[in-house]
Structure 1
Amino acid sequence: MGSVSLKPGDGTARFKRSTLCSSAVNILMLFSVLATNLFALDVFTYSAKHYTITPFHHKNITLISQHVSLIIKQIDSSQKKLARIENQLLGYETLNVSRPNLANELKLFLQHHHLPLGKDSRTGITEMVASVGHSCEKSADLLSQYMSYKVSGPCPDDWSLAQKLILRGCESLPRRRCFAKTVPKVGLSTWSGLGCKNIKCLNKKPNGFAFDRQKYVKATSKNDFLIDNVLAMGNNGIRIGFDIGKGSKTGTFAALMAEKNVTIITNTLNVDAPYSDFIAARGLFPLFLSLDHRFPFYDNVFDLIHVTSGFDVGTKPEKLEFDKMDGAVGSGKHEVYLSAVLQKPVRI
């Protein structure tokens, strides 16, 4: 072996004999290549002998897939069962219109009715959905009885049935296509189940509708709050209010506030007597809803909320706990009455 050197300007190539150093380097490179190839061959041969990969059989893969599918089905079934139990506890299942002996009017009411002119441009809705309380599912038989009437005829005298549904949480009640009865004569009423047919007769009853005009006007104890005092707290800014509770059933508070040019809406139920009719006969506005219902009013529209023994009587005692009060008045006292005026702070 030799090397070639080119010198500029000569025009010829001249060979020089290789030196001993260059030959040794070439031999060393050749030996390195051979050693590397032999080492790699030995490594791959050794791995193939000692690490034999066991192949998966098709039968094993199928068995694993079946187990995975079974686990997924069990999880899906458990989730559906849990959702069904939650719906039953909450009473959130929709009414089943396919059940037998269900009134046709109720089936018609629960249907989705498409808008005659198509999609509404302002709200975006295309159909009207029935509004009925979700707890009505638990009282489907009573609800079907309530909806069994003659269309375009007089409404049945079943206010007690309607109230029974409301007290069971079935509110709001479905609308009915019938006409309410009219009072045949001024001063009379169509109250069913009662011997009296006018207010004068009811006022003579021991537990009737007698009302005290001095209530909320003249103090009977140091804990009483009078109407004039409460209105003074509002700096003459009280114009509309809401009356809730057992003590509001006759509308006395609303009537006295009307004399002060304050409009009061009274919430009441016809428990044992037609209180709604009585309040309306006084020229006041009764609201026929239970306390568990969300009242159909916008937030912050009322200047005054009047509550009288409405949250602890006839409901679960957990709504108001009087542990400390019971200890103060003694175990022989069954009821505790509190008087308070709570003023809502200004929030910006």
Structure 2
Amino acid sequence: MGSVSLKIGDGTARFRRATLCSSAVNILMLLSVLTTNLFALYAFTSSPKDHHAHHLLHHAHKNISLISEQVSLILREIESSQKKLAQMEKELLGYESIDLSRPNIANELKLFLQHHQLPLGKDSRSGITEMVASVGHSCEKSADLLSQYMSYKVTEPCPDDWSVAQKLILRGCEPLPRRRCFAKSVPKVGLNPFPSSLWKPVDNKTVNWSGFSCKNFQCLNSKKLGRECAGCFDLVNGSENQRFVKARGKNDFLIDEVLALGSGGIRIGFDIGGGSGTFAARMAEKNVTVITNTLNIDAPYSEFIAARGLFPLFLSLDHRFPFYDNVFDLVHTGSGLDVGGKPEKLDFLMFDLDRILRPGGLFWLDNFYCANDEKKRALTRLIERFGYKKLKWVVGEKADAAGSGKSEVYLSAVLQKPVRM
């Protein structure tokens, strides 16, 4: 049993894999057939000298037939047990948990989730026999919403339902199924060439504003969308063009000083909750490629980042990052690391970040908001479990951005991942 996942484009294909048990059964069958044929060959080619020898040969052949029947019976029992165990495994893991017999399930969803046999049979290298389209098992909790997402006309324009897709993702329904319709297109006119695009205002017409309360960037800049996005869409007159190059306090590290800690080995990075992409823009000026993880919560972050000539990754933090192990030189995050919920949720996130960061790479924790001392201690204990080297570590206070007069505690750090043997 078991499964193996293969990344294809933006989807995931899951395959069945031959087990050790099935291999042993195949060997047993081969030996049984070989033994039977040898006895048969002996019976037809030899000439018994007396009746007693003939009787012994007949008795042996009869025993072989009984053994073959017993072997066949055992093989059938093993096959039946394998099927039962496979079904139990799928139920435990959540595969095939969506009840496709429901009357409100879209036909496109049923078609997408069908198993597809490989056209040339079993693959000799991987042992797979069929391809199974993967959909997040949490989709079962939102089956009606998922069916709404998959209700469309094939080869025609998709419904303007990006907000439905994001709602499913935030509910843990990830990955989403692929669709056979054309996504709504917005003419990207007035885009600036790179690198001047990094700091040029983005035209309102290049963005799909459906689902947002604001319908232009001027409206967004008048709101505080988060701790790391207050006027973050104003690239000219706001404070965004000063970030990472001019410190506003002791918790603000400058890009040049952090890159110096990497000893010239910082080439590619990953930014979590990067707002409008300013960190990636500053890194691009230093010839460092940064992928920005984002969702369109209250604002079109993904389209804005792309309009700047940068790479947005539309993915929730509950999803395993689609990168191979030890590939990034730098991981940058701020309060986006605060995933809430149980401590184990942050554990899983931190271990996945550690997985994609190469040994010797830098983990930059930038102005992480500590709601209380216990939260700061918990995060500190978690970081210390990884054995990172503390290159910079600053705990400081800032005035409450809401203007309440209270001070808030922030933690900034640059840590270096050790080489583990």
Same-fold call, TM > 0.5? yes
Q: Which residue of 2 aligns with 1:306?
A: 332
Q: Which residue of 2 aligns with 1:101?
A: 104
2:333 paired with 1:285? no
TM-score, L = length of structure 1: 0.67
Q: Is the 8 A contact 2:156 2:182 kept in 1?
A: yes
Q: Distance in 1 between matches of 2:250 and 2:338?
A: 23
Structure 2 CA distance for partners of 1:243 and 1:262, relative to 1, 3 Å? same
Q: Which residue of 2 aligns with 1:224?
A: 252
Q: Distance in 1 between matches of 2:221 and 2:302?
A: 19
Q: Distance in 1 between matches of 2:214 and 2:187?
A: 15
Question: CA deviation digits over 1:129-152, x for unaligned, max 9?
Answer: 111111111110100001111111
Question: CA deviation digits over 1:74-110, x for unaligned, max 9?
Answer: xxxxxxxxx99x95xx867711111121000001111
Q: Which residue of 1 aligns with 2:132?
A: 129
Q: Distance in 2 between matches of 1:297 and 1:137?
A: 26
User: Counterpart of 2:413 in 1: which secondary structure?
Assistant: coil
- State the shift of 1:280 in Å: 1.1
Q: Distance in 2 between matches of 1:95 and 1:148?
A: 16
- State the shift of 1:240 in Å: 0.5
2:331 paired with 1:258? no
Q: Distance in 1 between matches of 2:241 and 2:324?
A: 31
Counterparts in 2 of 1:150-161, with a 5 A limit?
150-161=153-164
Q: Is the 8 A contact 1:93 1:137 kept in 2?
A: no
- State the shift of 1:196 in Å: 5.8
- State the shift of 1:169 in Å: 0.6
Gaps of 5+ in 1: 1-82
User: Counterpart of 2:279 in 1: which secondary structure?
Assistant: helix
User: Counterpart of 1:337 in 2: which secondary structure?
Assistant: strand
- State the shift of 1:119 in Å: 2.9
Structure 2 CA distance for partners of 1:115 and 1:191, relative to 1, 3 Å? farther
- State the shift of 1:172 in Å: 0.7
Q: Which amino acid aligns with 2:116?
A: H
Q: Which amino acid aligns with 2:409?
A: V
Q: Which residue of 2 aligns with 1:347?
A: 420
Pick which of 176-185 and 148-157 moved more: 176-185
Q: Is the 8 A contact 2:220 2:299 kept in 1?
A: no
Q: Distance in 2 between matches of 1:171 and 1:286?
A: 17
Q: Is the 8 A contact 1:132 1:170 kept in 2?
A: yes
User: Per chain length, whose mean CA-contact separation is higher, i.e. which structure has more relative contact order (CA < 8 Å, sep 6+)?
Assistant: 2
Q: Is the 8 A contact 2:396 2:411 kept in 1?
A: no
1:205 pairs, out of 222, 225, 235, with: 222
- State the shift of 1:288 in Å: 1.0
Structure 2 CA distance for partners of 1:325 and 1:113, relative to 1, 3 Å? closer
Q: Which residue of 1 aligns with 2:7?
A: none
- State the shift of 1:223 in Å: 2.2
The answer to which structure has the higher strand fraction is: 2
Whose Rg is larger?
A: 1
Q: Distance in 2 between matches of 1:91 and 1:117?
A: 28
Question: CA deviation digits over 1:16-47, x for unaligned, max 9?
Answer: xxxxxxxxxxxxxxxxxxxxxxxxxxxxxxxx
Let me know the Cα RMSD of the aligned residues.
3.0
Q: Which residue of 1 aligns with 2:270?
A: 242
2:293 paired with 1:267? yes
2:409 paired with 1:336? yes
Structure 2 CA distance for partners of 1:91 and 1:119, relative to 1, 3 Å? closer
2:348 paired with 1:297? no
Identity %: 74
Q: Distance in 2 between matches of 1:163 and 1:105?
A: 19
Structure 2 CA distance for partners of 1:306 and 1:329, relative to 1, 3 Å? closer
2:187 paired with 1:193? no
TM-score, L = length of structure 2: 0.56
Q: Distance in 2 between matches of 1:302 and 1:290?
A: 19
Pick which of 182-191 and 303-312 moved more: 182-191
Q: Distance in 1 between matches of 2:158 and 2:215?
A: 19
Pick which of 109-118 and 272-281 moved more: 109-118
1:316 pairs, out of 329, 335, 341, with: 341
Q: Which residue of 2 aligns with 1:19?
A: none
- State the shift of 1:198 in Å: 5.6
Structure 2 CA distance for partners of 1:260 and 1:154, relative to 1, 3 Å? same
Q: Which amino acid aligns with 1:271?
A: I
2:85 paired with 1:120? no
User: Counterpart of 2:290 in 1: which secondary structure?
Assistant: strand
Q: Which residue of 2 aligns with 1:5?
A: none
Q: Which amino acid aligns with 1:111?
A: Q
Q: Which residue of 2 aligns with 1:110?
A: 113
